[in-house]
A and B are shown apart, each in its own frame.
Chain A
């Protein structure tokens, strides 16, 4: 069992802020398969298509029959903790700052024996455990030895919290707190124990229903933030960027045109100005502050969430310019991820299908509800994943896109969803 985390003390302002360090991040090309699965919250190992042997560590050829036909397959992680040791010394800067550190050897029921990081709340060897995978601060997959069933306050386990981006006790900026999605995100964060939620409030004269409901929450402060204005972004960054632990960039413009359904570029430009340039402005102003606080105590800066769209993967012609802006945003988010990684800040991209809002009024269900989207964000932060495809439509599109992007393109061009 894990002791419930106490509210972190205020920072001692006479001490130097600790600089972020990363755990060892080198991986072979084939080992990145483990990371690719972990990035979407899956524990996968290679399995031989010829003799069915499960492989570990990741490799080019089966360790039993030398077949090259190895395929990544989901694993249950069930196994037995054979032995454990506690690391009291390390020359690695990252682990040196986090000692003591439990390590264990787990034999999976599926076959291989793995070296894992043991959660503080994992039982002592020998015992049944579950092996799970997480991205570490370097963004690489690492294996964790966990209790077989989730124990009380397990999310607050010291080792697990090193891997995740739990909003509890953290200070969060939501770039648009006005829309139904924004309000749902704000509420979900408060529910998840966020310390402060700054809710961006562009064009304050435009009142949207429900806004009073979130401003009444004691954790929530409305702040002027308009991603189309460099000045607005830089002024807010000057005020609060040094305190923001998590940025949730949900501000977006969504219009429902292809190329020929509307003359001119104004609507497409408005989409691009928020969905793409908005992220750029935000990252230039808030990124440096987050990077400086990647190891700032138990509630350090940890994550940056972008609300993209499943249309970022393949253009949905009826919403063609919106799709294009989200594809641009996806590309920029990859750049942001690469630039934030040295500081251990995780960039999480959300790819929902149509959201149940006024711009998708004419699309048939299923549409993801704002509250479900908000919960998906909180879950992604708690699980520490990188890419999230919340909802049935997103999952289906993802499967079709993975299977064959060209086929999906043709289906979408034919108007079929």
Chain B
């Protein structure tokens, strides 16, 4: 099949429902919790909506809103320049990342049982190798999505954030596996369901926030606050995830779509 036929076949499969399009995105709403840093730091703004007019005296025939949010609000993309380890890399902001990276295969590692048993669960190299034993080697330049079913808590902001007096408790990768996925598997990026690609207690790992450190340091990407990962097969997903083209942006809220064969 030549490339042109391939696109036609893809369009036909999409129209016929043989390839399904899944939405891995949470709705942007004021209630969706945002990442919280200690109050003395600068803060990422939550999503806010202010009505401009709604068929009323402010605009008789039209309805529209102004919205505001941080680059890392809701389901969002992390660019390498987000982290200090990636600050000097070329093409590392959302406006300069090669656009072909925004359409890429994804594998899904199911950690939902482990995360249900332990909110601080950390994905390990051994767990990835076990997964590879069943599903094959993680392909180069693919997204690795860590399914935890954490997104199912999103309607309860307290449970989703899961803070106690020692901070946040959400699952994520450990330092070794973040390094392994970059150096041994050459992945495109790492995706998670919780509010960061790193675990809630990621600050206490070595290095702190290892997924950010290794992924972005090597020019790889992050996706967080994903949902519907439980509807994806372990392999064979094509992910479409272009962030907004913000000048020198460190990330952006985005719509994440997954193409899966039915």
Q: Which residues of A contact B (CB under 8 A)?
A: 203-207, 226, 228-232, 264, 266-267, 270
Contact = CB atoms under 8 A, between A and B. Distances in A.
A328 to B, nearest CB: 18
A229 B158 contact: no
Query: Which bracket fits the contact residues of B?
Result: 20 to 34
Given A203-B36, A205-B33, A205-B161, A228 B49 contact: no
Interface of B: 29-31, 33, 36, 42-43, 46, 48-51, 157-158, 160-165
B157 A204 contact: yes
Contacts of A270: 43
A256 to B, nearest CB: 9
Given A205-B33, A205-B36, A228-B48, A266 B42 contact: yes
A82 B46 CA distance: 65
Nearest to B65: A230
Given A205-B36, A207-B165, A228-B46, 5 more contacts: A205-B161, A206-B163, A230-B49, A231-B30, A270-B43
Contacts of B43: 266, 270
Given A232-B30, A264-B42, A205 B158 contact: yes
Find the residue from B29, B30, B43, B164 having the highest chain A CB count within 10 A: B30
Closest 8 CB pairs of A and B: A205-B161, A229-B30, A205-B158, A231-B30, A205-B163, A204-B158, A266-B42, A205-B157
A207 B51 CA distance: 31
A230 B51 contact: yes
B45 to A, nearest CB: 8
A205 B160 contact: yes
B194 to A, nearest CB: 12
A226 B49 CA distance: 13
Contacts of B160: 205
Contacts of B42: 264, 266-267
Contacts of B48: 228-230
A341 to B, nearest CB: 25
A203 to B, nearest CB: 7
B172 to A, nearest CB: 17
A206 B161 CA distance: 9
